[in-house]
Chains A and B, each alone.
Chain A
Amino acid sequence: MPWLLGMIFGVFVGATPGLTATMAVALIVPISFYLEPNAGLALIIGVSFTAIFAGDIPATYLRIPGTPASAAATLDGNEMAKQGRGGLALVIDLICSCLGGLIGVGILMLIARPLARLALHFSDFEYFWLGVLGLSLSALVSRGSTLRGLIAAALGILISTVGMDVVSGVPRYTWGSFELLEGLNFIPVMIGLFGFAEVLRNVTASREMAAPANQAQQAGTTRTAIRQIWKHKWLVLRSAVLGTGIGALPGAGADIAAWGAYGLAKVTSRAPDKLGTGSYEGVIAPTSANNGAVAGAWIPALVFGIPGDAVTAIVLGAMMMYNITPGPRLFEAGTQVQAIFLIALITQFLLLPAGLLGIRAFDWILRLPRRLVLTAVMVFSVVGSFAIRNSVFDVYVMFAFGLIGFFLEAKKVPLAPVILGLILGDLIEKKLRAGLISSSGDLTPLFTRPICAALVGLLVVALVIVPAVRWLRTRQRVATPSDG
């Protein structure tokens, strides 16, 4: 049963902030060579899916995302934990991860090739609009004042410009430090903004924060979880499909998929104001999407032999060690691909026990007195920031952003748009400039390329039509204007 053991390993690596799914897979690959090919692949695939789910555990309990793809879980998941419903949030999260994975693998099995062909049409300008769409959704993602949301997003974009510029090869805002050449790594930034800032907030709060009620699984948790998921079944489907599609693009991954699904949930929700306050929808959408994206990343890998992300790149390397050549021929040959699909499907079911074990294992942290929990957050923050590239510099970055995050929250500036700005700002800028280099400065393809035009249309729908319809509806419903 190396498979299940591997998945438990995936849970722990994924749940440790700073140790990403990529690292989990890279660490397990040498071990997998001692197994026969299918067992080895099972081990690797198992680790990749579990690590993505497990990242949500500390994000929910401690507000420190375990992997980049879990940043969205620090919103509603963590809010639910604060309300004493963390166990429920994670059970929902776990089940939706399995469902997202299942849907993703289903798409992979059925329409990998057409989807891969569609993904080929994505070039720089399409990515640009995708990024703009994501960033605009962030304005919706943030609660409260739009101005503060914009400030947060702008700050994120500003941070994303630090480092060696890929387009021109010129270092920017690095002040002669080569640690800054690669830019500010967004994991320490994220850990600082969310985790360390939370510690500061608690320490400086005049009275001890009310300890969350017993987070452990209460009777009926699973039933409530299933009922809520059933109620939001279309959201699960939408998010997983979106996630798989984004995962299939080599330029975007599980992190962007999770945010995209969160934004989509906000646009399509009947009660958009509830997102961010610990709503079920806010938990369900990102987690369905990020596991879908893990499956999606396999699409270009299997159809073209081009890895969709770092994890599939490692797996392709491992497959070659087993004398399996990934790419079009593998897809046509059949049996090996069938085995991979089967493994990926069974993995989703094994994720349930492995994930529950992970949730239980982290549960005890929350039964500790608050001050010990804060200590644990500190330890995780420092270790996680260091671990991402073995650099003490990143620990300083984490501390600095902890202070920034603390300050921003004190001024009621939301933190999620900062992270979105950081992830998407980089994508938007690079792709726009690369696209303009490619078109020799011509702006027309930005609107006339078919997918671009479609994305612009979506943008208009999301930003103009949906709010307009909503506004009209509320006006009809409320005869006399109230304070809202």
Chain B
Amino acid sequence: MFQQGLWKQFAAGLVVAVTALGGGCGQQGPYPNRAITLICPWAVGGGTDRVSRFWADALQQELGQPVTVVNRTGGSGAVGHSAGAHARPDGYTLTTITFELCTMHRMGIPAAPTFDDYRCLLQINADPAALIVRDDAPWKTLDEFLAAVRDGPTKLKMSGTATGGAWDLARAGLLQAADLPTDSVIWVPTEGAAPSLHELLGGHIDVVCCSIPEAAQNLEGDALRALAVMSDERLEEFPDVPTAREAGVDWVAVGWRGLAVPKETPEEIAALLEKTCRSIAESDEYRNFMRKQRFGVKIRTSDDFTAFLREQDAQWQSVVQSAGYARE
């Protein structure tokens, strides 16, 4: 009895599902008339995933169609970015693009997409890299730290992510901008910012290079402090942390996120999405969400965003090459 009932239920469910699917495909009307996918190239639970889920929710409310986040992870972001770039350009697949879009195609990742494969909609976030040390570290400023790198008796140990990852490139660029060879510190590879900070607290490494939100909770305590932040200007939340520029090192390294659709997406659809995204980005809900998550808000509209990505692509090309990670 139980089994039969169950199978009947199952069959009924199947019929409903198939009908719904069929109905969805047959539906006509102005865009959007069916569910939209937002590809997140990074894993569930990470920063990009959290931001993507906020946007999926917000887009769903604005567009009146379900928006689901699909995590397509792998290949240091290559899998998701590639899937997003090569999706059908009909406005039903959006992608949360990230920093790695400008670096991975230089680092031996086969057939990696570039920003040129996308029609960028909006930049939604930027988090600068920062140098973080233990509170009892001997260096009080970036200058003192760079002097220790230059003249110290032993090489200092740094970490923050994998070899060739975003923050490894950020510190390589910083050293380069300070006229120091990129191998003048030891980069100890780790799985990411959290284990690096643990190693830092344990005294196994000297400095962590990672983004401010990744370390925010620790910076608010008194065990760790930031020497410098690699942004254009000081951050609102951490007004005491000077920028690298203030210390005379002309270097900016920012991790960013944005929303994009495939290049060939029809202009009227892209324009509609852009408008929608812009109004979400201006909402209080978005500002609140980002503030609570300690993420920085940086909005660049389509043209500015594309121009910014072009600059980024060039900036990182030189760092990737001089750090010896370039593989074509």
Q: What residues of chain A have their CB less than 8 Å away from a CB belonging to chain B?
A: 22-23, 25-26, 30, 119-124, 164, 166-171, 174, 176-182, 185, 250-251, 300, 304-307, 310-311, 313-314, 316-317, 320-321, 323, 325-329, 364, 367-368, 389-391, 430, 433-434, 437-438, 440
Contact = CB atoms under 8 A, between A and B. Distances in A.
B163 A120 contact: no
A171 B194 contact: no
A349 B64 CA distance: 41
A174 B112 CA distance: 14
10 contacts: A26-B49, A166-B162, A179-B75, A181-B76, A181-B109, A182-B75, A306-B197, A316-B217, A329-B221, A367-B3
Given A30-B57, A123-B202, A367-B3, A182 B74 contact: yes
A139 B302 CA distance: 57
Contacts of B190: 434
B163 A327 contact: no
B201 A391 contact: no
B149 to A, nearest CB: 16
B225 interface: no
A177 B79 CA distance: 10
Interface residues of B, number: 60
Interface of B: 2-3, 6, 43-46, 49-50, 53, 57, 70-76, 78-79, 82, 107-112, 155, 157, 162-165, 186-191, 194-195, 197-199, 201-205, 217-218, 220-223, 289, 292-294, 325
B75 A311 contact: no
A251 B195 contact: yes
Contact of B199 (A123, A389, A440): A123
A313 B191 CA distance: 14
Contact of A325 (B109, B217, B223): B217
A390 B49 contact: no
Contacts of B45: 22, 25-26, 310-311, 313-314, 317
Contacts of A122: 202
Contacts of B108: 170-171
Contact of B75 (A170, A181, A300, A367): A181
Given A323-B292, A368-B3, A304 B198 contact: yes
B257 to A, nearest CB: 15
A177 B218 CA distance: 39
Contacts of B53: 26, 30
Contacts of A320: 292-294
Nearest to B294: A320
Given A178-B82, A310-B43, A169 B220 contact: no
Contact of A169 (B112, B203, B223, B325): B325
B43 A178 contact: no
A166 B195 contact: no
A484 B92 CA distance: 67
Contacts of A325: 217, 220
B186 A438 contact: yes
A470 B197 CA distance: 44
A178 B218 contact: no
